[in-house]
Structure 1
Amino acid sequence: MGNFKEVLGVNEVSSSKVIDAVWKALLAEFLGNLLLNFFGCGSVVVMLFAPALHKPDFLLVSLTFGLVIFVCVQSLGHVSGAHLNPAVTVGMFAVGNIKVIKGLMYIIVQCLGALAGSAILKALLPEEWHDTGLGMTTLNPKLTALQGFGFEFFLGFVLVLVVSGVCDPNRPEAKAAGPLAIGLAVALGHMGAISFTGSSMNPARTFGSAVISGIWDNHWIYWVGPIAGGIVAALIYQHALRAPTLTTVKIIERYSTVADEKELRRLDGNKDADNFA
């Protein structure tokens, strides 16, 4: 029973102190997805229907999604890890970085946050724009559902690969650039695939738009694709690409420091420098 509770992560939601931290993390995930759908889907509406624009501006949408993810990871990462995406959460679960109960709670609030963001966007837009899809991701009619799944698979793969790399505890130098790298990965995905699937990369993002717009065509590819890609990326990074342990790095640094100190002693004229250890 103890092992079963450990797998589920009961200890993560059992004590009052831990519960307080979990609620803060859930609020952070909710707010992050709310902002993602509000600003990201808003940029899609602007691209397609603002009177001043005469042709689609995919760069606008790509940068908006990338920037809002950058902002949210930068501001919320210390609270929840800023998954902001069921594909990231499931990927982290696959390598043991989050337990079942907490992971499910993350996914639920991610979907609710995206739903709230799309609902607020709809409430603030003119009524004649409500039939635009409100930023809903749709499959290019020239592609099959399987091809759409393939694109979403690689979108989830590249995102979780970047998340795994910048969150590697053995790469402390990558931490500062993490939010920017993750935001750029999202922007990259939109630049490369928005014409094919709308470049969801995020099941919660598409779920929120689908509920508000009522468009559910090929909805499964926006869940199965990114999540499958995220799992594969997390497993590959964990078992083949992760950085060497810090213990090795510390040993190298220690011997480098000793050598430097010996050299300084020689320069100072200390005859016993070679006996320094």
Structure 2
Amino acid sequence: MAKLALGHHREATDPGCLRAVVAELLLTFLFVFSGVGSAMAAAKLGGGGDTIMGLTAVAAAHALVVAVMVSAGLHVSGGHINPAVTLGLAAGGHITLFRSALYAAAQLLGSSLACLLLAALTGGEEAVPVHAPAPGVGAARAVAMEAVLTFSLLFAVYATVVDRRRAVGALGPLLVGLVVGANILAGGPYSGASMNPARSFGPALAAGEWADHWIYWVGPLIGGPLAGLVYEGLFMGPPGHEPLPRNDGDF
């Protein structure tokens, strides 16, 4: 199993690291602008995420923009756009903790800029939607929901993008996006299905609403690293079986 790598402050001056941090800021900005913007558009057109059509539209928008942004950043920063993904990869030893902190700061800044710009462009006509548990869903259940959904997301990231033994290739980002969309359909009516502290941070900052914000840090930051540890510990070793021969003569 991979061990945590602390990293060094000299990473902050490395050109490759700086490019990656800027990429995370830009990619997260674009992701949140489209994701939150789709939720605002759904609300403006009627019903928002409270209707199956609105929920499906928001899920589809998130799935598409995640797939594109992960693909765009894959060979620059890894296309994390999510502190839970970053920490989940750090738990598996794929990124240093120091660089993880730089990524997370960039992701939070990108999300904040996107939501502040959305608020300015819409002129306050539609409130920036903030993640919060649905009525009747307590904080503990919302944390558990976010942890499970984020575990699912990170498991998909490891299986389709990180694990080089998988012959997924360019399909990896698309599959990650599909998991995000499916998780929004499954968990959106209950916890909001954030799976991403940065995705929740920007709207909370723009709206000035922090009452339940901690849920969207605790849940994802439990589920993400746990998925990294589980995948690294159970599935990143040597193959567990040999493929069956294709021809009778091979027996």
The match for 2:222 is: 228
The match for 2:202 is: 208
Following TM superposition, by how much is the alpha carbon of 1:168 offset from its aligned partner in structure 2, in angstroms? 3.5
CA RMSD of aligned residues (A): 2.5
Structure number with greater Rg is 1
Following TM superposition, by how much is the alpha carbon of 1:24 offset from its aligned partner in structure 2, in angstroms? 0.8
The match for 1:35 is: 30
The match for 2:125 is: 128
2:7 partner amino acid: G
Q: Deviations over 1:217-275 (max 9, x none)?
A: 21111001011001111111101122636xx99xx9xxx9xx99xxxxxxxxxxxxxxx
Structure-2 change in CA distance of 1:116 and 1:195 (3 Å): same
Structure-2 change in CA distance of 1:114 and 1:238 (3 Å): same
1:171-210 equivalences in 2 (<5 Å): 171-210=165-204
Identical positions, percent: 33
1:152 partner amino acid: E
Following TM superposition, by how much is the alpha carbon of 1:96 offset from its aligned partner in structure 2, in angstroms? 1.0
Structure-2 change in CA distance of 1:191 and 1:243 (3 Å): farther
Q: Deviations over 1:91-111 (max 9, x none)?
A: 111111111210100000000
Q: Deviations over 1:144-182 (max 9, x none)?
A: 100100110011100100001113444251222111011
Consecutive unaligned residues of structure 2, counting only runs of 5 or more, are none
Structure-2 change in CA distance of 1:12 and 1:181 (3 Å): farther
1:1-277 equivalences in 2 (<5 Å): 7-10=5-8, 13=11, 19-50=14-45, 56=51, 57-129=54-126, 132=127, 134-242=128-236, 244=238
Structure-2 change in CA distance of 1:61 and 1:51 (3 Å): closer
8 A contact 2:87–2:225 mirrored in 1: yes
Q: Say which structure is richer in helix.
A: 1
User: Normalized against structure 1, the TM-score is what?
Assistant: 0.80
Tell me, in whole angstroms, the C-alpha distance in 1 between the residues paired with 2:208 and 2:9.
Answer: 39
